[in-house]
Structure 1
């Protein structure tokens, strides 16, 4: 099997670390060859807080995936999330020296590099610069300015910012696990690629990825990402509440949540009781399911309300920014019973659970098509895209050397899309350089 056809996604989460190996089949769908999963011990709310334990967990997940796929893993695409991620809107412009020439890739690069010079808080770095729409000489709502005439080029940007140290720590863990960083991707973007259709992104949709330690939000409209946020609460705080509220150990609380938990207290009758064995010969505890769902409900409402505040910050109530496709829930936390109904009740928006099966090959294992693996599937897809891009670039370089100027004009047309998707590639390079120099 050709090596470059394989991509590996590494999802370093708060509760679990997933290594997923996939490749594209002849129909352009993603075929998952192997999955490895390990308990995540050194990560808290999406941020690495114990390097040694994280490395062990990564190695365990990778070995499991290698055994399942009978493949050796050397490069991985890693997702970053965590409570240190924030986003902001920014507008910037450049004045072009010669308005007689059409706008080209270099002008857009200059504009984007200007945004990269924004002054951030100490220790923060710009991860993503995503152009929203452009203005040329005051003419607004231009999606693609290349090839147009104009003296002043301006754009609105969605800028995603994160802590450099957190990103470098993840890079360090990957490198120490004898793996190469092939790419870094923002986890909400990876999940969105895996579970959303192009129609939804066009119509306007909010993706809510409820993980163990964090809840990620990505808002799309007109096919462009408009807003991202990471909320430092996830499924773990619900488990914590059950543990405290029922005075039981964490393992039992997690099982209770998964087996009997519901986000809607009205569902349970007063006489429904579950008995939990006591510790070391103590009497068993009896917990009513009504109480259990009240505890869960209170915390879930808090999480959803925080996400809803972020959706409001984006401005979904304006006619132009309306999210017609509503909300898509994914991640392990989205499997909680009656969560969909509760989200619809709080936000008044249509809601569905997002499964990453849209891009998966037909005979995929049912477990892989679970919302639990949405981010990992998205990372595999991202790795495959990156490889296609590299292959296209190499082919272009070869054709450029042999072809005429006509061909080169066509190449210029295709460039912007490629360049704009690869800001994270630049970040990956920087993280790689830093790690190499730090050795």
Structure 2
């Protein structure tokens, strides 16, 4: 994956685009904050609907050590369903989280990886192939890049169509947030570097995530307001899948569900590669509003009741009252998960493992819904999947010697931190070819 974001505002206003959304060739300068292979400090920033979370890390080889962590609540008027609605308000909240992280770490880390979420962030993979007319000739870099271009065009077209269908607007500006080559095959054999191989059948699977320009612009403004050097903006479901699939311990893959304050994000990893992501606007704040409306109390008081209920501190008849109030929303949430997992499956067998993260996963009702759901009867599972909440100590590549990370709500910033690890270490032929293509296409 590469730095896909630096300079896009400048490019937007200095070049014209064709009908497909691609830009003419120009010289582009990317942020040079990365020194591959050397120890370096980064900030991972999760601009969540309920909380802004900042993490200062030091990347060392294939892992990172957490130096400092900061959290600060977001106002209901500043974020909605994972999307920034008040840039200055979010800057102020993120600044508080960042100051706390820097104080905890005793240092600053201007180079930042920021997560992006929301229903209009579209991540998908596609498979493209070509039959080579001269199979005895070695495959060249130009052939590899041409195949990547073909896949990227296909993914962008599909993302723009999906966003247009959901918004009812045909000309929403869409930009690439992150991309990765999942696999390459020559005559059916998987290779890590196709350059120099002979072969007739050359194929590639590419994952890309796209988001509306408005959302990306808001996060760029937040980064600038915090004096951060933006290294990458990464779709959070992708970051989670990349990070947690390294720990899943199964070749068959897994389904990852992140229950945040404003959205629920779902990612499918199958046979070692991330296939697709889905998001829907139902998270922890929905349950808070339900309690507030049912009891006629403020959102602040409703949040306090929800946390007391989730932690098990609540006793007596109040427990059953809150459970009854939340049941319709929990049922709606489960129906939405079923629908999106069915879409992700495309009728093919799903991996029998579901990993849950995010602050919303603390709601025991959600856990019970997932565990009791008749997965094998309703969806293509060969057996009832295990359902497991991911805790910080389960993430191998992010070390927390000070014990600063608390629970499942810290997993998303950990996943963003892992993206910094990958950025620091990427230097393969596939990654370089992908970087060249994206640089040339300016999407």
The TM tier, using the shorter chain, reads: 0.7 to 0.9
Structure 1 counterpart of 2:139: 103
Say if 1:210 and 1:218 are closer, same or farther in 2 by CA, change over 3 A: same
Structure 2 counterpart of 1:161: 210
Structure 1 counterpart of 2:371: 344
Q: What is the distance in 1 between the residues matched to 2:304 and 2:366? A: 17
Say if 1:377 and 1:16 are closer, same or farther in 2 by CA, change over 3 A: same
Mapped pair 1:9 → 2:58: no
Structure 1 counterpart of 2:357: 330
Q: Shift in Å at residue 349 of structure 1? A: 2.5
Q: What is the distance in 1 between the residues matched to 2:421 and 2:334? A: 33
- Whose relative contact order is higher, 1 or 2, with alpha carbons under 8 Å and at least 6 apart? 2
Q: What is the distance in 2 between the residues matched to 1:58 and 1:424? A: 33
Say if 1:212 and 1:181 are closer, same or farther in 2 by CA, change over 3 A: same
Q: Shift in Å at residue 159 of structure 1? A: 4.1
Q: What is the distance in 2 between the residues matched to 1:253 and 1:307? A: 25
Structure 2 counterpart of 1:361: 399
Structure 2 counterpart of 1:191: 240
Mapped pair 1:32 → 2:59: no
Q: What is the distance in 2 between the residues matched to 1:212 and 1:295? A: 18
Structure 2 counterpart of 1:415: 429
> In the alignment, is the contact (CA less than 8 A) between 2:121 and 2:235 conserved in 1?
no
Structure 2 counterpart of 1:182: 231
Q: Shift in Å at residue 134 of structure 1? A: 4.9
Which piece of structure 1 moves more, 164-173 or 339-348? 339-348
Q: 2:251 is paired with a residue of what secondary structure? A: helix
Q: What is the distance in 1 between the residues matched to 2:133 and 2:217? A: 39
Q: What is the distance in 2 between the residues matched to 1:25 and 1:178? A: 24
Say if 1:132 and 1:6 are closer, same or farther in 2 by CA, change over 3 A: closer
> In the alignment, is the contact (CA less than 8 A) between 2:120 and 2:211 conserved in 1?
yes
Q: What is the distance in 1 between the residues matched to 2:110 and 2:208? A: 31
Q: 2:324 aligns with which of 270, 294, 298?
A: 294
> In the alignment, is the contact (CA less than 8 A) between 1:195 and 1:355 conserved in 2?
no
C-alpha distance after superposition, 1:63-83 (max 9, x if no partner): 111111111231211111112
Say if 1:158 and 1:193 are closer, same or farther in 2 by CA, change over 3 A: closer
Q: 1:150 is paired with a residue of what secondary structure? A: coil
Q: What is the distance in 1 between the residues matched to 2:183 and 2:422? A: 23
Say if 1:142 and 1:150 are closer, same or farther in 2 by CA, change over 3 A: same
Say if 1:425 and 1:92 are closer, same or farther in 2 by CA, change over 3 A: closer
User: Which structure 1 residue ranges, 5 or more long, are not aligned?
Assistant: 274-287, 394-413, 432-439
Say if 1:88 and 1:379 are closer, same or farther in 2 by CA, change over 3 A: closer
Q: What is the distance in 2 between the residues matched to 1:424 and 1:104? A: 14
Q: What is the distance in 1 between the residues matched to 2:432 and 2:307? A: 42
Structure 1 counterpart of 2:333: 303
Q: Shift in Å at residue 100 of structure 1? A: 3.3
Q: What is the distance in 2 between the residues matched to 1:372 and 1:424? A: 35
Q: 2:100 aligns with which of 43, 64, 86?
A: 64
Q: Shift in Å at residue 354 of structure 1? A: 0.7
Structure 1 counterpart of 2:54: 19
Mapped pair 1:92 → 2:142: no
Q: Shift in Å at residue 111 of structure 1? A: 1.5
Say if 1:338 and 1:306 are closer, same or farther in 2 by CA, change over 3 A: closer
Q: Shift in Å at residue 151 of structure 1? A: 4.5
C-alpha distance after superposition, 1:29-83 (max 9, x if no partner): 4321111112223221111111111111122211111111111231211111112
Q: Shift in Å at residue 14 of structure 1? A: 0.6
Provide TM-score, normalisation by structure 1.
0.76
Q: What is the distance in 2 between the residues matched to 1:424 and 1:291? A: 56
> In the alignment, is the contact (CA less than 8 A) between 2:181 and 2:431 conserved in 1?
no
Q: 2:287 is paired with a residue of what secondary structure? A: helix
Say if 1:100 and 1:418 are closer, same or farther in 2 by CA, change over 3 A: same
Structure 2 counterpart of 1:405: none
Mapped pair 1:228 → 2:288: no
Structure 1 counterpart of 2:343: 313
| Structure (1 or 2) with the greater helix fraction | 1
Q: What is the distance in 2 between the residues matched to 1:108 and 1:198? A: 30
Q: What is the distance in 1 between the residues matched to 2:363 and 2:175? A: 35
Q: 1:205 aligns with which of 254, 260, 273?
A: 254
Provide the aligned length of Structure 1 versus Structure 2: 378
Q: What is the distance in 2 between the residues matched to 1:105 and 1:316? A: 33
Query: Superposition pairs for residues 118-157 of structure 1, below 5 Å?
Result: 118=154, 119=157, 120-121=160-161, 122=171, 123-134=173-184, 136=186, 139-140=187-188, 142=190, 144=192, 146=194, 147-151=196-200, 153-157=202-206
Say if 1:70 and 1:314 are closer, same or farther in 2 by CA, change over 3 A: same
Q: 2:139 is paired with a residue of what secondary structure? A: coil
RMSD of aligned C-alpha atoms? 3.2
Q: 2:261 is paired with a residue of what secondary structure? A: coil
